[in-house]
Each structure stands twice: as C-alpha cells, then as structure tokens.
Amino acid sequence: MQAYNDKQPAGVPLDPEAAKDIKLFQPITVKSVTFHNRIGVPPMCMYSSEDGALNDFHIMHYGKFALLGAGLVIIEATAVEPQGRITPRDSGLWKDEQIPALKRVVDMIKSQGAVAGLQIAHAGRKASTAPPYMGDYVETEENGGWPDDVRAASDIPFASHYPKPNALTEEGINEIVQKFADTARRADQAGVEVLEIHSAHGYLLHNFLSGNSNKRTDKFGGSLENRMRFPLMVAKAVRQVWPDHKPLWVRFSGSDLKNEGVLTKDPEGWDIDQATEYARQLKAIGVDVMDCSSGGNLSNAVYPKGDLYQVPLAEAIKRDAAVDVAAVGKIVDAHDAESVLRDNKADFCLVGREYLRDSSWALSACQELGAAVRWPKQYSWAVSGTRKAIKKQKEEEMKKEQEMKK
C-alpha cells in the first residue's frame, strides 16, 4: 500500500557503505526478527486506555515513532489482570476482547517498518493509583480503583500514602503465572513480534525479587533462590507459550538504589550481583534480551544524576551473564548512544523521554553521526531539497575558507 513504509523504513542510512562504522544504525537480528537499527522506544505508560483497550491516541502516539525511524517500538506496560494495572487508565490484555484494539496499533507500527513490541506487567503494590498527570494519590472504588485488592509479595505498602497490599497466597501466585501466559498468547494473536516481561520498577515481580519488599518466610521468600522463584515461574510459563521464533525480553532493575551508586552492594535487598544471577537464570529459560533499568522499588531510592547513569548495569549484565542487553535511562545524545554500542556495553539503546521531546530522534541522530538518513517516502521529496541546500551551503562555506587561507 502507498501508505506503508515497511519495505523501505525511515531511520536507515541512505548509503549503508558510508555508514558501516556507525553501529547505532547497523541492523541486528534476534531469532527471526530483524531490527533495521539498534534504536528502540521503551515502554512508557500513557494512562489513556478504556477498560484496558488501546484507542486512537495510541495509534497516533506509537505510529509517529515507527514512521520516523525507530527500529523497535515497545507498547506500554499492559496488565495481565485488572488488579495488575497501575491506574484505572492502564493498558490491559486480560481478555480476548482487548486483542483487536492492540492489533490495530501493532499493525500500524509494523506498516512503517518498525518492530512491534509489547510489555506485559503486573503493578503489584503500586496499583490503584491515579495517573501522574492528575496527581499522586490512591484511586478509590468510586473512581474505578481497587485499594482493598492490591497484591504484593508482602503486606508492606510502597509509601505511606499508598494502599496496604495483600500478600499473595501460593494459589494466587499460580493464578498470576497462568495469567501472564494467557496474556502472552493474546499478544501473539495480535501480531506482536517482541514480548517483554516487566520485572522492574517496584512492580509485582520486582516485589518478590527484592529483600527490601519481600519479607516472606515460605518458599517464595528469604534466599535469592526463593525470591527469584515466582518471577522465573512467570518467565518459564511465558517462554513455553511464546513462539520459539519470536524474541522474549525481560526488563528488570539492576539495583534498588538503596545506597548511593548503581553498583553499590545491597545483599539483603537487590543489587547488581543478584540481578546478574537472575539474568543467568532467565537466559537458561530462553530469554533472549535483558532490558536493564534500575530503582522504582523504594520510595526513598537514591537516584544518580547525569546522563547514561544506568549503562554500567547493562554493561555488567552483558559481561557477567553473557547475554544480549538493552541500555536505557537518560540516553539523550546520539554520540553517547553510539559510544554505548561501540564500547560493547549494550546491543540496543532504548531512548525514552527524549523521544517524547523529539519523535524524530533517530533521523536527527543519524545526521549528527555524519550519515544521510532515509525519511518516510511521504516526507522525502520535501526534506531532500533541504538536505541538498544545506550540503551546497556547507560546500560554499568551505570553499570560501580555503580561498581565505591562500
């Protein structure tokens, strides 16, 4: 179709040979899926769904990233059950009726040449809250919340003004494992190409992983082996139903950031050493890529300042667990992103908030790194003339400089 750009997507160098040393724009293949560059838009909640279903806003929101050159677009955290939403406006895929709305967005992403991803999640003890653009408060039942039915590893609230969660029983744990698997099946039916399990940022699976939030005394608490048990059950159940030829990712926090420094030890809580062992176990199950973030589990976490602060976590996981990784977090500058890949600290760069500021980040990045980039064909006739004019202007300026030196 004329509206499609899947055969010649934007975000690809016009002269691949001239750009062969720019790693950010080299294709990469994982399982049967080829990404036309290493740039991904990570899942970012928009809190704009109705009963979990995506809508026209999401077509526009995700479509623009795919149209303007991102190699991978991961749709926001999508709940496996209604109580697994952060807010009543979260995306969900707990019933078959939600598949068509998701498929509509997935098809849009794929039609522009990007890979369509989806993150599946359970909010755990951070559920039943208001969208952040409305304020930091608990949603009541009258406003669609479920403050008395919030679920977690232990009955410890995330913060003093959050609901007190109910510690899951073993039966409840097994039910949620099945719900993750059922959601994965629906994602496949919707045409999703990359599936990501969310076990970061203080949500349910992270609740269990960290000793800072998991105070259980049964087989799901205490030792690292026990704390990993439930998240690994989820990963195994999802891998069994997710097609072998499709990549499976897992996002996790490399540290709770309880102390200053992303690589600081927190042996009784959650730190890089435990995260590395978790990555090894996930790899053994068949997870293909680890998406390395941090924090979110403690209301008093110590977040470092500055760009690229989470990259050391991705680098450590890649090195010590011998897996493909995605780096994320304050990746703003194209040269910084290129250095992350060139120095073998990660295999993908996920650009989040900067993409909200500039949805054409991939196109700008390629030009900043010295290569001409393909635009969507619908735009190319207009911007090509601009490129030629800029090139001619630069050539004239260089010619004048050379004449002045004579």
pLDDT above 60 for 120: yes
Mean pLDDT over the full length of the chain:
95
pLDDT band at 85 (very low <50, low <70, confident <90, very high): very high
* Crossing angle of helices 170-189 and 99-111, rounded to 10°: 50
Which CATH superfamily does the domain covering 23-375 fall into?
A: Aldolase class I (3.20.20.70)
What is the pLDDT averaged over residues 292-316? 96
- Residue 196's DSSP bridge partners are 119, 249
| pLDDT tens column, 367-402 | 999 998 999 989 887 876 555 555 566 677 777 778
pLDDT band at 405 (very low <50, low <70, confident <90, very high): confident
pTM of the model: 0.94
What is the pLDDT averaged over residues 231-236? 99
> Kindly report the CA angle at 390 between 389 and 394, in degrees rounded to 5?
120
Q: Look at residue 257 in the predicted model and tell me its pLDDT.
A: 98
pLDDT above 90 for 43: yes
CA 83 to chain centre: 21
Q: Look at residue 393 in the predicted model and tell me its pLDDT.
A: 62
CB 231 within 8 A of CB 180: no
What is the pLDDT averaged over residues 187-194? 98
| pLDDT tens column, 155-180 | 999 999 999 999 999 999 999 999 99
CB 87 within 8 A of CB 47: yes
What is the pLDDT averaged over residues 190-205? 98
User: Which residues are catalytic, by number?
Assistant: 203
CA 155 to chain centre: 28
Contacts of 150 (CB under 8 A, 6+ apart): 83, 124, 125, 127, 128, 163, 164, 165, 166
CB 197 within 8 A of CB 120: yes
